[in-house]
Chains A and B, each alone.
Chain A
């Protein structure tokens, strides 16, 4: 942790942080530690929004913001950093402007880039603590591995629909004992397509607010050295049932980074590690058709069948008049799928339709199925802009 000796505060800062300063166990010492600390927040989305707002408000001295994305309409349901006026603008820049207005005493550093195996060590090395607010397995393993290699604490949270997980990884306690990291909990990620993807998942908007706030609290505890950080423990929250559990997490001697026989000394190709090849998120190879080609088929009244494997509630949001057979029910409707002409299968982004095609080819011998590349999202982008994107 950065040295907090010699850190001083202006009158305005003393007033701003007064509710911290009068907590006996926190006081001006805790505030000095916050001011001298450097925290990197990876992702400015659902988790990153509350993380950044609270860490900035709390007076963390230096905050790094990593995001390469731009704000879009679907973000606003949970990403409370952003407003309607920000749609289309780079998230990290908008975040910086919003946070500067909240607390001008904080030094905000923008990394308007995707965290990759090439730049992660260079970006993370200058910070004391990393808060992982990312949304995909490759980046989670990348952040974890970089933190272990650089000896940084990784404050973790993850969400899915109504369920959240949080933990503090790679934390050294006061006796110098190192806690577990993400690879001790989950040595390898699920192969693409096995667990429901994020696109199928969705998330209730308040949940990242809850988990991101818990993360911010853990970051502050780690920096100030107060309380018991959530190290060696995994917190689980089910927002539907309001059940919480806190489970033990142990270091694994087989951990390739810092187990008994470490085999990994640097960063690796995390897309490959997670089974994602050439940006194909489903990891499944199928015959494909572009949205432009589909549009031609439709305009020419070609003899083909269009199957939509999404759920009825998605069909309500946007449709291109395909026959609706949700992926989970497809085996009960095999006889409704044509085998004597071209069949185009689509979903939201192309992952579920690839799964459907693989199943139908393997189990039922279909050879006439084409996956709509990019799904209805690509169709909405390139062909019919009146369709709602979700």
Chain B
């Protein structure tokens, strides 16, 4: 039983009434007086020089307010990775040439969307098509078309602005290499020499869409009188969007306000700044009027960030008893036209993997190649869904060869609680063994694994580890808790609610700390002007870092109330506690003083001290900045979360269709602040992972996305969903607020190999590429003689 009264309870979400009544405002719902609507003309070529653009007819169309091209935004650069050695190369609109189908070429602002659309038809662009390349290995060969020339920066880069002392320098990618990582520890050759069994396998993961239900949208409103830009947009952290709007528009940060809206899903896909956001803000400033730019579903699929395409080769050496002794991972990322977060994903595919199992001797090499396609970013797990599909599938194969049980194999190779990882991170909490055992028990592993082949049924398991925030600007989060006259409080914290539940969880943390019921906490969140310095919600640092800041802010106010109470009762603060908006004497609970009275008395006694709690939390305390992506050194996170998934499937040998019968999901999020919310996250990832394993792929042919609609890009529907069993695998995290840590993105990766392995258990074939479509499975059944 929990000793808490608010934390650990499945309380109704604080955003519930608004969302259930249709009152919740999303960016798509924002309409401002005198607002214009913008549309973008996009490249039909994967690679071409722009010879000329004629916008005269479009400009002459009644209702068109402005037409802009790459000439207007010449030289503006941005990107998730903008370091001194690798400056950003993304741009709001193509300049001399286009590099993928869908790249922005011309933008129009008009009185309504139809007029803007009509104007696009009147624009003439003359292209000189260039040879294009779509395969990363082809792209890195000598003589392949070069996608980028010199990449240069005319301003400081982001990491200079954020405190890195080095100056950025220009560079020219050689053979289309967009990024490289290499790190190692131990002695790989020695490890392989000690191995009794070595195998090498190659796996592929495609680009998949985040498919957030709200299409990416921005409303930008520039006021020429005050020089201020107000924006409403789909985001996962206002700090990074505001930073990049300020940087790209060359405006002071404080002249930009990101307003609170609810965000209709994100899953990593809305964190970075986008071309269309810079375009809308640019148009609004040019015109001095509000501009709305809402992307179509097709634009989201084919021009916004999807997950990153991985080609993973794993060579793993194990001893007879199942001890992993060496691993050599080679990752090729098909980056697309711009580098996006390719280097980060290649790094994370190692770092997350390293938190799960002890592999003793490791070499991890990654290379990302530019191609003439749309480019990628983080999607729920950032690099680990791709790696877990590869590694946990390979574990299954190793176990088959050695006659071992995958559950026992995994438990044997787990790291140990309290262990310090090669990069210096310490596992103060480590629930992975509990998760593995939990899902195995829940699904009936011992009884059923390998024993239902006659029914074409099988079982498989997968795992994952995930950080709880990492070293990324602004490196820390802060929160304010204000005491109100009636003893209620107002929490001010910047995280944005996109479904993951911070509004409720943070309110619970504050209520618990102050002995208040949940409804006594009023929340001000997600507004860059009303909230203090914010970290982000796209690095899985929400609960651990943002929630931690809220906890410390509430604790600060609690200590102030106890101090005021001790003066009032003339007793030590340790003798006091608080409940129901009052401080009371523990030994004599009937002796209490309301918070409101303490506030009044404190103001009278202490020169107007109004009792405000302030808290902050640094994402990774021991490091000044961030770990080296290229070398893999340096602290990375202060707490890892874990998950395991076990799947039971049935395969139809005639059609190649896979029916998922059951999914058991275990999470180690430290402690469930709101169990209903955590279970929601787990069910969510179970189903999303099912889509990854069986259905989802953004398919392109010669650089053109051929399934950019929900008719052609299938995601799981209500009827596809199997029985989902949720298991608590929590291991209390001492540095987390009430023991809590990340819960939102660890589990998706575990589901993918669990299903792939279950298919193998059912019919004895291995498909090395997700999604495992009926076509691929039938081919595998045929080729592997099953």
Partners in one complex: no
Interface residues of A (CB under 8 A from B): none
B residues whose Cβ falls under 8 Å from a Cβ of A: none
